[in-house]
Chain A
C-alpha cells in the first residue's frame, strides 16, 4: 500500500504554556480534498502552518512522502506544500512583481504568457499585470496571491480561510479554481474553512475543537 502523502502523528503545539493543538494524528492521501473546520481559536490555522513548515510542533511528528519534514530543505518542501494566507499581502509595487517572485526564487526567467493565462483563469485581464498592488480590491489581491502559489504547481495546496473576507463573486471564482486544481490537476487540497459550500465540495472533513481532532466517520 502506498504511503500517505502527509502524516501527522500526535502533533502538539504549545505557546507560553498554553496548549493550542493536542494529539493530532492525521493522514492526507494524494489527491485528497480535505477541509478542516472548527470554532475560532480551535487551532485550525496553527495546524495548517505546522503542515506548511511555517511553525514547528512542540511534540509529535510530521512526515511528507514517508520522510520526516525536518529532513527536507524547508525551501524545497514549501515549494511542494504551498501555504496561502487568510489575508493576502502582496509585495513590491505591481502585480507583476508578485508573479515574477516564484520565478526569481527558482532562478528561472519570467513566463509572461503563463502568468497572463493564470490571471485569466481567475477572471483578471492582462491589464492587471502592470497594475499597482495598491489599486486592487481585497478579492483581486487574494486572487493574485493564489496565482503566486500555483504558477509552479505544488503537490499540496494549503488554504487558510482564503475566501472568508471576500464577496460572493470572488468566492465563486476561487472555489471553482480550487475544485479544478484538485479534480483536473490532481493537487491535494487542505482547506481551513467555515463555509458550507466549501465543506461540501471536500471528500474529507476534519473537525477541531479546543485543539483536538474529531473526524466524522
Chain B
C-alpha cells in the first residue's frame, strides 16, 4: 500500500483549517467558534471510532458487529428525527425506515457476494447506507413540512370533499419521496465525470487498480439508489399521517 500520511503531515494539513478561519474572520461571518468546535469534534470522534473499529475488526464477532451496525442505525435515526421540525414519532419512523433500508440492502449485497460478512466490510457499508438514508429522510421531512404548509388549503378542500388521509396527501407524499431520492439520482448521473466518490477514491488511495475500484463504486451507486428509495418511501408514507389528528383533521 502506498499510503503516506503520518502525524506530521496531518499537522501540516491543519493549515487548511487556518485558511477557513481567515476567510471567516475577514468576511466577519461569525463562524469561527463553529469551525473550531467542528474540527475538535471531528478529530476526537474519528480517533475514537478508529480505535473502536480496529478493536471490532480484530475481534471479528457477529454479535459485536451487528451491535455496532445497530448503533449506527440508531444514531442515523436520531439525527434524521432531529431534522423533522416537530413531526410526531419522527425518531420511530426514521428508525423503522433506516433499519429496513439498511437490512434489505445489506442482505442483497451479502447474498450476491459483493460484500463479505466480516466487520471491515459490513460496518463501513452499513455506515454508508444509514448515512444516505438519514440524509434522504431529512429531505423528505423538510419537504413534507413545506408542502403541508404551502398546500394546506388544497389538503383541507380534499378532506372536506370526503377524501381519506392518503387521497388528501398523495401528491405531497410523492413529491416528498421524489425529493428524497433526487440527490442520489443526480449524483449517479455525474459520478465519474464530476466526482470520484469516497469508496472508489479510498480504494485507489490504497493502491487498488482503478478498473477494480470502479466495480465497488458501481455497487455503491446501486446500493444507494436502493437504500434512498426504500428510506424515502417508508419515511414519507409513515410521516404524512402525523400531520393529521385522530379525527382525520389537519393539525394546526
Contacts and interface: CB of A to CB of B under 8 A. Distances in A.
A75 interface: yes
B157, B171, B248 — which one has the most chain A CB atoms within 10 A of its CB? B157
Interface of B: 151, 153-154, 156-164, 167, 171, 245, 247-249
A7 B164 CA distance: 25
Contacts of B157: 85, 88-89, 91, 145, 148
Interface of A: 52-56, 70, 74-76, 78-79, 82-85, 87-89, 91, 101-102, 104-105, 145, 148-149
Given A53-B249, A145-B157, 10 more contacts: A54-B156, A54-B249, A56-B247, A56-B249, A75-B248, A83-B160, A91-B158, A105-B158, A105-B163, A105-B164
A190 to B, nearest CB: 14
Contact of A89 (B153, B163, B248): B153
B162 A78 contact: yes
Contacts of B151: 91
A85 B159 CA distance: 12
A145 B154 CA distance: 11
Contacts of B158: 91, 101, 105
B153, B156, B158, B161 — which one has the most chain A CB atoms within 10 A of its CB? B161
A216 B158 CA distance: 35
A56 B156 CA distance: 14
Nearest to A88: B157
A84 B163 CA distance: 14
B247 A78 contact: no
A54, A87, A145 — which one has the most chain B CB atoms within 10 A of its CB? A54
B154 to A, nearest CB: 5
Contacts of A76: 162
A149 B158 CA distance: 10
A145 B160 CA distance: 11
A150 to B, nearest CB: 11
A91 B160 contact: no
B161 A101 contact: yes
A52 B151 CA distance: 20
Contacts of B167: 104-105
B248 A52 contact: no
17 contacts: A53-B249, A54-B159, A55-B249, A56-B247, A74-B247, A78-B162, A79-B161, A79-B162, A82-B162, A89-B154, A91-B171, A102-B161, A102-B162, A105-B163, A105-B167, A148-B157, A149-B161
A91 B160 CA distance: 13
Contacts of A145: 157
Contacts of A104: 167
B38 to A, nearest CB: 40
B156 A148 contact: no
Contacts of B161: 78-79, 82, 101-102, 105, 148-149
B14 to A, nearest CB: 52
A215 to B, nearest CB: 26
Given A85-B153, A91-B154, A104-B167, A56 B160 contact: no
A74 B167 CA distance: 13
Contacts of A55: 249
A129 B159 CA distance: 23
Contacts of B245: 56
Given A70-B247, A74-B248, A54 B154 contact: no
A85 B160 contact: yes
Given A74-B247, A85-B153, A54 B160 contact: yes
Contacts of B164: 75, 105
Nearest to B170: A104
Contacts of B156: 54, 85
Nearest to B249: A54
A117 to B, nearest CB: 19
* Those 3 A-B pairs whose CB atoms lie nearest each other, nearest first: A79-B162, A74-B248, A83-B160
